[in-house]
């Protein structure tokens, strides 16, 4: 079975949306898109724990000062929303962003296009060379990162600054193709 016949490689001719992204006569080795759904990770859990600690500190300070606002239901709801609402919003934002992403692999670069539609689009092109770090994160929907693997605390303090093909089907085959591309670039 050749790579183009594998289920991870449904077609190798460029779809119309890639014509403006690819260089003239640049071959397309693979194209795909990320899996949908919510993706709750360790960073989200850490942010929820941080929110709980901050909420506890806020409640302690309000009670120690003695203001009567701690017994006001409206204030309680607003405080809980301020501390906990960012996590579900981040989950929804990442899900919507993934729905608008398309991935492509050529012999010289990996391309991530985000935002197809009326809002414009951003194109991220990562050269695939022998020095490009590739990391395969295995799971139900595996991911391939082109940058350093994020630390366990990423998401608590800052967002992960990684580029990669997230939650793709057939990630092992795409990873093998990227390794072949790396060997050809050296």
Parallel, antiparallel, or unpaired for β 142-145 and 135-137? antiparallel
Is 21 inside a domain boundary? yes
The verdict on 27 and 115 lying in the same domain is yes
The verdict on 150 and 120 lying in the same domain is yes
CB atoms within 10 A of CB 5: 8
Q: What six digits make up the tokens of 83?
A: 């501390």
The verdict on 108 and 20 lying in the same domain is yes
Contact, 181 vs 107, CB < 8 A?
yes
Residue that has been written with the tokens 């693997």 in this structure: 149
Query: Which of 69, 89, 109 is the endpoint of a domain?
Result: 89
The verdict on 135 and 85 lying in the same domain is no
Is 96 inside a domain boundary? no
The verdict on 156 and 133 lying in the same domain is yes
Looking at residue 164, which CATH number applies to its domain?
2.30.29
Is 125 inside a domain boundary? yes
Q: Report long-range pairs for 65-74 (Cβ below 8 Å, ≥24 apart).
A: none
Name the CA dihedral angle for 100, 46, 41, 175, rounded to a multiple of 10 degrees. Answer: 90
The verdict on 127 and 157 lying in the same domain is yes
The confidence score (pLDDT) of residue 159 equals 54
Is 155 inside a domain boundary? yes
Is 152 inside a domain boundary? yes
The total domain count for the chain is 2
The confidence score (pLDDT) of residue 104 equals 93
Domain that holds residue 64: 42-89
pLDDT by residue, tens only, the chain of 186 residues: 334 434 444 445 666 678 788 888 888 899 998 887 767 767 777 878 888 888 888 777 777 776 666 667 777 778 778 877 887 887 787 788 778 888 999 999 999 888 766 667 788 888 888 888 888 988 777 888 886 555 555 555 555 556 789 889 889 999 999 999 888 765
Query: Per-residue DSSP letters for 128-141?
Result: --TT---EEE-SSS
The verdict on 28 and 47 lying in the same domain is no
The verdict on 26 and 50 lying in the same domain is no
């Amino acid at each position: 079975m050749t790579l183009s016949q594998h289920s991870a490689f449904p077609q190798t001719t460029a779809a119309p949306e890639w014509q403006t992204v690819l260089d003239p006569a640049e071959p397309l080795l693979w194209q795909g898109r990320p899996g949908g759904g919510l993706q709750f990770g360790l960073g989200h859990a850490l942010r929820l724990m941080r929110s709980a600690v901050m909420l506890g500190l806020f409640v302690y300070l309000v009670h120690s000062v003695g203001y009567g606002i701690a017994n006001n239901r409206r204030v309680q709801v607003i405080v809980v929303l301020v501390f906990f609402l960012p996590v579900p919003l981040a989950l929804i934002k990442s899900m919507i962003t993934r729905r608008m992403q398309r991935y492509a692999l050529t012999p010289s670069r990996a391309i991530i296009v985000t935002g197809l539609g009326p809002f414009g689009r951003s194109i991220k092109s990562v050269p695939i060379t022998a020095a490009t770090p590739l990391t395969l994160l295995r799971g139900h929907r595996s991911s391939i990162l082109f940058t350093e693997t994020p630390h366990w605390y990423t998401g608590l303090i800052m967002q992960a600054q990684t580029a990669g093909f997230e939650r793709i089907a057939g990630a092992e085959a795409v990873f093998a193709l990227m390794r072949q591309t790396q060997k050809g670039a050296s």
